[in-house]
Structure 1
Amino acid sequence: MKPRRRPRVYFNLRSPYSWMALDQLERRFPRAGELIDYYPLWEPDAQLREALRERGAEVLYRPMSKAKHLYILSDVKRTATRLGYPLAWPVDSEQDWDLPHLAWLAARREGRERLLYRALVETRWHRGEPINQAEAVVKAADAAGLDGAALLTAARAPQTHAEAVDVLEAAYEDDIFGMPYFRIGRERLWGLDRLDEFVSALHRAHPDTEADGAARTDGSAADADPLAGVPTELFTKVGSYDIDTTGACG
């Protein structure tokens, strides 16, 4: 008999919905890091895309409209407020997302990917600083107690690129088209608003695991203007936080 596959969660360091969903998941299912396989998915460079094409695979993200982009800006603010998260809007100067995800893969080989992940999330969403540049990744890694320079070298190594092709191919085979995306058994669940179902399925699969409280709901009401506080330059940066997904049924 074929062994049953462990639950999977696909995440993206660019996506605010991915950030909030994974934080909520680990609050409500504390053994997530032990019992779930984490897979990064991002928009890779031409070299990685070509390697994927050679395997008959591709990235299933698609460009979004400006209207959808503006909706995401207001929805992210509303959702972060509802969940009680501090939110500092990052303004990315470039859209090269290979480096932070490759660094995560390199950190995973040392079993320290969770430390790097938390440092990158704090940099991007709590301080509003970029994470898709070499100096930013090194700084975040050093802050997490890792050797940032060594991690940067490992992120650029051929072994890491090979691992990147593997995880991107896995996303293609799992039909992953948006962030975050959860898989458990035959269940396929897309978006932050499907987290309840994923957590419930995890508890059914592991009834000895206790929840660590419900979702955070300590935020105040949203401002009358849903885009108040969003940096003006973000209004025209279509796709700054996601491609073809609102993190739910978009």
Structure 2
Amino acid sequence: MPQQRGTSRRPATFFFSFRSPYSWLTYLDLRDRYPDAADAMRWLPFWEPDEATSRLIAEQGGRFDYSPMSRAKHLYILRDIRRLSRERNLEMTWPVDRDPHWEVSHLPFFAAERQGVARRYVDRVYQARWQEGRDISDPATIDAIGAEIGLPGVADVANDPVVRKEGAAALAAAGRAGAFGVPFFVVDRDAFWGLDRLTQAVAALRGRSGPVTKEADDHVRDEASVTATSGVPSTDGGHAGGCG
């Protein structure tokens, strides 16, 4: 019989981004269809960091893998999101990002989490961006959302060095988990990328029971090592309902 580890588990993690329409749709499905899974997961924001955050990630010994998508993939996503929105009877507005600065919208998540209103914050920012067409890189937009949920002036946390480090740590965690796009789920040693993998991630979370064998643990670690050293690009050429 293979040696077995204890039954203690690391929290399942949901990496989400306000930038991604697939992450938005995944959030809605998770909220409305699988609230038990939503409650059981740790939520961490994922975004393309600016230079200051990138330096903090490096100082922490971490890395963040991100590559801009091709024009062809971007055009495909435009069509795909329209289809998926219609299937859900959603009225969406495609936002125009004139000068995106993703720290402005993502870093306040940590302040909202400390105040117990993280879900409300996520809900309102997604709604503002994908259904109201508002610019979430504008601090005024984020402050208006903060005022609605009891966090006045919350956009200022994007300039807080402590929160910056917290955000860098979250992106470093995404790098360690192998996250290359969103939505991205990690359940024990399994990873799931994309809206199309949500049901599998939920099934894995609901079915987690018993110890993890050392053999399975070693297999996943070896597979991750091969991926890290093979020179494989960080973005996936395929498509599973996710943004790279």
> What TM-score does the superposition give when structure 2 sets the normalisation length?
0.80
| Aligned counterparts of 2:111 and 2:17: Cα–Cα separation in 1 | 16
Of residues 227, 241, 248, the one that matches 2:241 is 248
SS of the equivalent of 1:34 reads helix
Residues 6, 37 of structure 1: 8 Å contact kept: yes
Q: Report % sequence identity.
A: 33
How far apart, in 1, do the equivalents of 2:81 and 2:201 lie? Answer: 21
- Is the partner of 1:61 in helix, strand or coil? coil
1:1-250 mapped onto 2 (5 Å cutoff): 1=6, 3-143=8-148, 145-149=149-153, 151-205=154-208, 244=235, 248=241
User: 2:140, 2:235 → 1: CA distance?
Assistant: 29
Give, in angstroms, the shift of residue 244 of structure 1.
4.9
In structure 2, stretches of 5+ residues that fail to align are 1-5, 210-233
Q: In structure 2, how many angstroms separate the alpha carbons of the residues matched to 1:169 and 1:2?
A: 26
The one-letter code matched in structure 1 to 2:204 is A
Aligned-partner SS, 1:31: helix
Work out whether residues 99 and 155 of structure 1, in 8 Å CA contact, stay in contact via their aligned partners in 2.
yes
**Residue range with higher mean Cα deviation, 177-186 or 82-91:** 82-91
- Mark the runs of 5 or more structure 1 residues left unpaired by the alignment: 207-242
Given the two structures, how large is their TM-score scaled by the length of structure 1?
0.79
1:69 is aligned with what amino acid?
H
Distance 1:175 1:81 in 2: 32
Give the CA deviation at 1:202: 2.6
Asked whether the equivalents of residues 103 and 158 of structure 2 are also in contact (C-alpha less than 8 Å), the reply is no
Question: What's the CA shift for 1:165?
Answer: 1.3
Query: Residues of 2 paired with 1:81 and 1:162: CA distance?
Result: 39
